[in-house]
Structure 1
Amino acid sequence: MTSTPTQPSVKYGRPVTTDGVPDIYAGATVTPWTPPDPGIDNLGISSIDTFAVPGVGEYTVAFDGYVRVVRSEPTSRQWSDAEVYTNLIEMKMVGSCPELGTITVRLNPDCLSTGQIRTPFDPYAGEGPSAKACRMAVGAVFSMPKLGMKLINKEPIILTIDDVRQIPPAGAPGKGQIYRMLPLHDIENPDAEPVAYVTSLRFTMGGYLSAEQMAAR
């Protein structure tokens, strides 16, 4: 499988090595409230995105696909203290609507898409384990053949999941932190005016996929 280059020009956060890190597939055991060893999680993902195209309209598209996420060594073996750094190293999502046609979303190879899972500061937290929060800053390429172009986001797409009680947070719903509209630019002319905007993004991180399922995608 392909992955992002080792030296992308834009880095949204801390790099996480993939050297010697095992791929994890369906059948793996995930233990709540327990920081796991490093791994590359092969997960399904679905999302519902809304795009606004000036002069054309606003359209909501359902996507389905997969991601590969590499996780760092946790900073602690105690859940309450542990932080885990992540890199999104591969992604493919496909959706369609009549007006925009088939849209394929992959990672932008010029960006290092990074994230972190940690316990939010809560001065009123009581006894017992506290849920963590997951965030990921993503650079993507939206291939829209019906529009005759590929679009990129120059500002990161911030994906967030709250109430994380296990790592990875498989099966957890999340959302894109987008303030009204996220500009999308023509990859061939990135400094020109935006061609379209993402106005809403909600996703669900699926469970582990098998190696066979990953190869078939």
Structure 2
Amino acid sequence: MSAPTQRPSVVYGRPVTTDGVRNLYSGTSVKPWTPPVPGIDNLGITSVDTFAVPGVGEYTVPFDGFVRVVRSQPTSEEWSKAEVYTNLIEMKMEGSCEELGHITVTLNPDCLSTGQIRTPFDPYAGEGPAAKACRMAVGAIFDMPKLGLRLANKEPIILTIDDVRQIPPAGSPGKGQIYRMLPLHDVERMDDSPVAYVTSLRFTMGGYLPWERFGSEYKEFGK
């Protein structure tokens, strides 16, 4: 698997280092309402995306794959005060439909995809632990070889998960905050008009995957 770019030209948020951070796989214990130490979460992910391609049509495609997310040191040991910053360092999702063919979604190496997990401001919150919210701004590449298209988003895809009671929020459903349509551009002509759109995106963050899914180079620290 290729390593992400070290100097992306587009940075959507705060960089998080991977130096000395342990990769976490199947068997990792997750405690609710507890800010965890830094880690690289190797997680499954599924999604259902809808694409609109002018002259072709609008089609809904199920995807399955994985993400690798590095987490920062929490800003506090108290759940209520803790904020955690994240970077999406690798992603691969695959799906298909008859009209669009096989589609592969990976990270755009020119973008640093970043996120944050924090407690939303709620003036009416009562006693007891409050759930957090997770958001991540993502730059992606959509390969559609059947149509001869390799597409990227210039506007970030905002992935959100509400009611987060553990970190990482494995098993939690989320959605892409897309207003009507998110433009996708030909990667070779990013300043030209869009050639396709994402009109809907809903995903579920899966649990930890075994390290064998990723290869031995990811088993040790900081890989």
Q: After TM superposition, is the score higher than 0.5?
A: yes
Q: Distance in 2 between matches of 1:177 and 1:126?
A: 28
**Structure 1 consecutive aligned stretches of length 4 or more whose deviation exceeds 2 Å:** 213-216
SS in 1 for 2:86: strand
SS at structure 2 position matched to 1:126: coil
In structure 1, the partner of 2:33 is 33
| Inter-partner Cα distance in structure 2 for 1:83 and 1:6 | 24
Corresponding residue of 1:80: 80
SS in 2 for 1:20: coil
| Cα distance in 2, alignment partners of residues 215 and 143 from structure 1 | 23
| 1:1-217 pair list within 5 angstroms | 1-215=1-215
CA drift of 1:7 comes to 1.1
Counterparts of 1:57 and 1:144, CA distance in 2: 14
Cα distance in 1 between the residues matched to 2:2 and 2:147:
26
Q: Offset of 1:149 from its aligned partner?
A: 2.0
Q: What is the CA–CA distance in structure 1 between the aligned matches of 2:49 and 2:40, rounded to whole Å?
A: 26
- Structure 2 residues not aligned, in runs of 5+: 217-223
Q: CA RMSD in A?
A: 0.9
Aligned pair count? 216
- The TM-score with structure 1 as length reference comes to 0.98
Structure 1 stretches lacking a partner, 5+ long = none
CA distance in 2, matches of 1:21, 1:147: 40
TM-score normalised per structure 2: 0.95
CA distance in 2, matches of 1:76, 1:59: 44
